[in-house]
Copies of this chain bind each other. A is one copy, B any other.
């Protein structure tokens, strides 16, 4: 694979680089069109890459030409056990989504670069770009919300009003912390409702779906914090935060789930230059959290009720609480005025679900964890090293995102509300549970679902085992046999034991001649005699199907 590269080739490549630097310098000096600069810069990049590869192949040769066997940083393989768990999690979630009449879509893993730009604020630096190999500039998707908005904007008539889910991988060049389920390639699982409806009815259903999903996944105790962007903005405004500081003060407040008020106040006053009196006034509001009684308290606050945006926010919250009450799930929610959520595109209700379950200390696959662990120990342990990592789901209303794409006159022509479930964290929690169960010697998820092992009890009987297996496959019965002409009996039993295959179908020359095989329940041996049961070949599929159904 690695080519022999001499000093001459490297020198030639360096000369090429020199020449290309000259070309670019000339273009730049005469203010040539950006497209031309870009295209020459791409060529330069190719030259440098080739130079680097010469170097790599030289050092690879030194090291015996061996390739580094790993997945890229922040990514991992999914082994069969992880995949079995992933399939379980996805099918559980999809069942809930389908019950609510959602359809599903998929989008390409990369989008045109310009589709993603300007959507993620500071985090845009975490976007993966594809190399410019000629043609369009593309980037890997950063989330599923922007591609959804792009999809709806492209098909407003058909999908301007839809309930859809999307489960797919997204990409962020973040500092990975794989032990906590934070990867550079990871799954998101989004449920969104687009379209103009009466206020808060879709919002309440999204939250109802979230509760049903978290209950179905059995992730343990959870709370869903809710707040409203309009109310929060109004609070800042009422307290006297200057307009240009609202964004940065909002992000300071968002840290209240991990930092004490004193620290947040210090950041606002010292780092962000906020007046102390203003900070204290904010403190009174944002430390409030509760349920319906908090809503009533705020509804009695004249400062708020006289503010247009605060009134709108409170009216929304009132409706929401009524609807959540009808759904019988109000007890799951905490009205939390400190919840701010980072993303630029939220316009109304916002929410975040947090669980009490801790991230497991070591998760399978991938390379080593990186980030230091700062979380407290105890029942309520929440990952504290990064904003949002402790949360298990989050979302909100974003009424203007589709409008950013469609360029329609009304920015909120296609309002949307949705939630993204943090499935990687769900995987972590459930995988830890599986490992704990395995450590206690309990039976857990099987990687492989084989129900029958077709064995030879002498003389190989390969063609006969093939014939029986094919008969079972055609009957939809999961079966395997050993890929040996004359397998040893012990070797076959070893597989049955190791893989916990429930049934053994045993072929012996004498019985076979009479058109019979022997079936033995290997799992929970007590139920049948050790010698198993003789079954005529013609009745085998029916017999096994019935036995398997009672497992």
Point out residues on A near B: beta carbons under 8 Å. Answer: 1-2, 14, 17-18, 21, 24-25, 28-29, 31, 34-35, 37-38, 41, 44-45, 48-49, 51-56, 60, 64-73, 75-80, 83-84, 86-87, 95, 98-112, 114-115, 117-119, 128-133, 135-138, 140, 150-151, 153-155, 158-159, 162-164, 169, 171, 173, 185, 195, 197-198, 201-202, 204-205, 208, 212, 322-323, 326-328, 404-407, 447-450, 462-463, 466-467, 470, 473-474, 476-480, 483-485
Given contacts A18-B25, A198-B484, contact A83 B106 (CB under 8 A): yes
Complex CA–CA separation, A407 to B69 (angstroms): 10
A24: chain B residues within 8 A (beta carbon): 17, 21
Check if A69 sits within 8 Å of B153, measured CB to CB.
yes
Check if B80 sits within 8 Å of A476, measured CB to CB.
no
Which residue from B109, B202, B208 sits with its C-beta under 8 Å from A169?
A: B109
Complex CA–CA separation, A18 to B72 (angstroms): 33
A14: chain B residues within 8 A (beta carbon): 28, 31
Given contacts A128-B130, A466-B327, contact A68 B114 (CB under 8 A): yes
Smallest Cβ-Cβ distance to A168: which chain B residue? B169
Of listed A84, A106, A485, residue having the most chain B CB within 10 A = A106
Smallest Cβ-Cβ distance to A58: which chain B residue? B34
Check if B136 sits within 8 Å of A72, measured CB to CB.
yes
Chain B nearest CB from A326 CB (Å) reads 5
Given contacts A130-B130, A130-B131, contact A78 B103 (CB under 8 A): no
Given contacts A18-B28, A154-B70, contact A105 B79 (CB under 8 A): yes
Which residue from B21, B86, B328, B466 sits with its C-beta under 8 Å from A21?
A: B21
Check if A77 sits within 8 Å of B151, measured CB to CB.
yes
Given contacts A25-B18, A98-B449, contact A80 B104 (CB under 8 A): yes
Check if B118 sits within 8 Å of A1, measured CB to CB.
yes
Which residue from B108, B198, B479 sits with its C-beta under 8 Å from A101?
A: B479
Check if B73 sits within 8 Å of A136, measured CB to CB.
yes
A-B contact pairs, 29 of them (CB 8 A): A1-B118, A14-B31, A18-B29, A34-B55, A37-B48, A38-B48, A41-B44, A41-B45, A49-B129, A56-B114, A66-B407, A69-B150, A75-B108, A78-B106, A79-B155, A80-B105, A84-B103, A99-B478, A100-B473, A108-B185, A109-B169, A109-B185, A128-B130, A129-B133, A130-B140, A133-B173, A198-B483, A198-B485, A326-B463
Given contacts A129-B133, A450-B101, contact A328 B41 (CB under 8 A): no
19 more A-B residue pairs beyond the given contacts A38-B52, A129-B133, A201-B484, with a C-beta to C-beta distance below 8 A: A14-B31, A60-B114, A65-B407, A69-B406, A71-B108, A72-B112, A78-B105, A78-B106, A80-B164, A86-B106, A99-B477, A101-B448, A103-B448, A128-B131, A130-B131, A131-B131, A195-B483, A323-B466, A326-B470
Complex CA–CA separation, A100 to B474 (angstroms): 10
Check if A80 sits within 8 Å of B103, measured CB to CB.
yes
Given contacts A67-B115, A117-B53, contact A328 B99 (CB under 8 A): no
Check if B77 sits within 8 Å of A51, measured CB to CB.
no
A28: chain B residues within 8 A (beta carbon): 14, 17-18, 21
Complex CA–CA separation, A118 to B412 (angstroms): 51
Smallest Cβ-Cβ distance to A112: which chain B residue? B72
Check if B112 sits within 8 Å of A70, measured CB to CB.
yes
Chain B nearest CB from A169 CB (Å) reads 6
Complex CA–CA separation, A49 to B112 (angstroms): 14
A86: chain B residues within 8 A (beta carbon): 106
A448: chain B residues within 8 A (beta carbon): 101-103
Check if B67 sits within 8 Å of A111, measured CB to CB.
no
Chain B nearest CB from A27 CB (Å) reads 9
Chain B nearest CB from A240 CB (Å) reads 29
Given contacts A31-B14, A185-B108, A405-B67, contact A483 B44 (CB under 8 A): no
Smallest Cβ-Cβ distance to A196: which chain B residue? B483
Check if B129 sits within 8 Å of A105, measured CB to CB.
no
10 tightest CB-CB pairs across the interface, nearest first? Answer: A197-B483, A80-B103, A1-B118, A75-B108, A78-B106, A101-B480, A101-B450, A34-B55, A41-B48, A129-B131
Smallest Cβ-Cβ distance to A197: which chain B residue? B483
Smallest Cβ-Cβ distance to A404: which chain B residue? B1
A65: chain B residues within 8 A (beta carbon): 407
Given contacts A18-B28, A154-B69, contact A76 B131 (CB under 8 A): no
Given contacts A154-B69, A405-B67, A407-B66, contact A201 B41 (CB under 8 A): no
A52: chain B residues within 8 A (beta carbon): 34-35, 37-38, 137
A478: chain B residues within 8 A (beta carbon): 98-101
Check if A470 sits within 8 Å of B197, measured CB to CB.
no
Complex CA–CA separation, A67 to B153 (angstroms): 11
Check if A77 sits within 8 Å of B108, measured CB to CB.
yes
A204: chain B residues within 8 A (beta carbon): 466
Given contacts A38-B52, A322-B463, contact A202 B104 (CB under 8 A): no
Complex CA–CA separation, A45 to B463 (angstroms): 62
Complex CA–CA separation, A163 to B51 (angstroms): 40
Check if A72 sits within 8 Å of B17, measured CB to CB.
no
Check if B37 sits within 8 Å of A51, measured CB to CB.
yes
